[in-house]
Structure 1
Amino acid sequence: MIDGRDTEPLVNLSEVAEIELFILKRMKEFTLGDHASVFKGSGVSFVGLRDWEPGDRLSSIDWAQSSITNFSPIITREFEQPSTATIIAVADGSLSTRCGMHGVSIGAAIARSVAAVGLSAVFFQDMFGMMAFDEGFHQIAAARPRIGKPHVLYCLDLYQRRSPTDRPAVLSDVTTTIAGHLRKTSLVPVISDFLFADAARVIKELSLLNAAHDLFLMLVDARFAYQLPKVSAGWLEAYDIETGRKRVMSRKEFTRLAGRVEEWQEEIMRLARDADLDIVRVGLDRWEMETTLVEFVAERRLRKV
């Protein structure tokens, strides 16, 4: 297990920039051309002014107001559209996601997925927020929805820089929090490897939320973290980072872990479909992940991600 405060971030700024460029290119391909609009409204509503932050678009700068302040600071305009959606990424922040192989953790794939969803929200001027949950599906961190790339970067930092000891005094269930705080229909991608014991219960609860919100699952392919090197020992001791338990297993059982993870995640996909939840599987490869997500958006008839 790796403490994110002392190591390289799960996703760095250069990777975020690559993801953003890819999304801008692909999403423009899907939004250009003739297609029926599913939204009706008065257009863009002015929300207010704020100081410029790194990542803001040049087109959002209010040059007249900025000249009054002698461009110190630069002032930007914020807008809200009746057609915009509130997007809350629910990300798995359990201790097991900080484990992996060859210096790459499961959390890296989750962080990249959060970045892809968040930057897609920026493209559509949607509000983006994030919740992180632990192995018991309890909320451990949250960021309220806001518009703009700087807030997406803040959410990424909140996810990957938190320590295992950073826990709120009172743990609240994620599904209860979503139901209680999101008052209008929102887009809720739940990003996890779903390698926890009561995954079936969680999927059932999420399916109930799907009646009020546009909820779908992003299953992080965790097989790579269990494709362990060959060992000569006949017996090995494994340690569970979340429960603190130890278990002795044979070499044969040890080599079957990746296969068992694959079987478990296939069962998760079946449970999700039975619960009428959309699900998409993403892996570590950035380009494959982003292509998969964009194609997933297209299949959903340009519903915002």
Structure 2
Amino acid sequence: MSMTYLPAVHADVKIPALGYGLWQVPPEQSAELVSRALQTGYRLLDTAEAYYNEQGVGKGIRDSGVAREEIFVSTKVWNTHHGYAQTLQAFDASQRRLDLDRIDLYLMHWPSRIRDAYVETWQAMIRLRDEGRVGAIGVCNFSSGQLQRLIGETGVTPVVNQVELHPYFQQQKLREFHREQGVITQSWSPLGLWWQNPDPGSSVLQAPEILELSERYGKTPAQIVLRWHLDSGLATISKSVRPERIVENFQLFDFALTPREIKDLAGLDRRDGRLGPDPETADF
């Protein structure tokens, strides 16, 4: 099995299609789990200052035995550090915690509409890119309208927009806008699991269409859904603190869904499928 990569339109980088996410990974476990993920074959690590585990991520990279140039590291600036000077300071702090000379992808975690400083934040990120301190810059959780404003006021298009996306919430209109602008769509919550979901049994992993494909391919429902992301041209971030799941979630490169199967799964999309906050109304 080998990783697949998505070439960026707006930067000279190739982004691993499958990443290991560090959200909700306890700081004291992060180094060991990062090292294990890298040894399994993951090459993208997705962390953030708000995850409080950047220091462990850096240690896990050093402990893994995998060459730094093979690893694509992404971290994020949090909402409370929006603004030009604040973003530069937040980046310096993240870089110190990671103990890396260069960060491959720096992301704005949320647009934080109540602060309304995401354009200034983006301008600081452009400076970091131009100075060579980051390889590429992108955003998370931006709507098409927010992206239009960002691009219109700065002339710089994000390489990535990392958003909630899963078979129950496929974001087709946003993805079409991304294609028009040359933005890579990267999925968080790719399995449709959310810590505040009151009914875990309603997960897409229980959908009959997913269970049928699981039986057909001899793969777990989670592997079917993650493969759907890859076969749909998406980058995706999987996460687990269980070593066996870290391995299982990587075992995606020995099969592929057919175009017909991908089309059939489009029928799972729901108008009310969003599980997390809406960036247009989120008040943080």
**Fold shared by both chains (TM-score > 0.5):** no
Q: Could you tell me the TM-score, scaled by structure 2's length?
A: 0.35
Q: Could you tell me the TM-score, scaled by structure 1's length?
A: 0.33
Looking at secondary structure, tell me which structure has more helix per residue.
Answer: 2
Looking at secondary structure, tell me which structure has more strand per residue.
Answer: 1
Higher radius of gyration, 1 or 2? 1
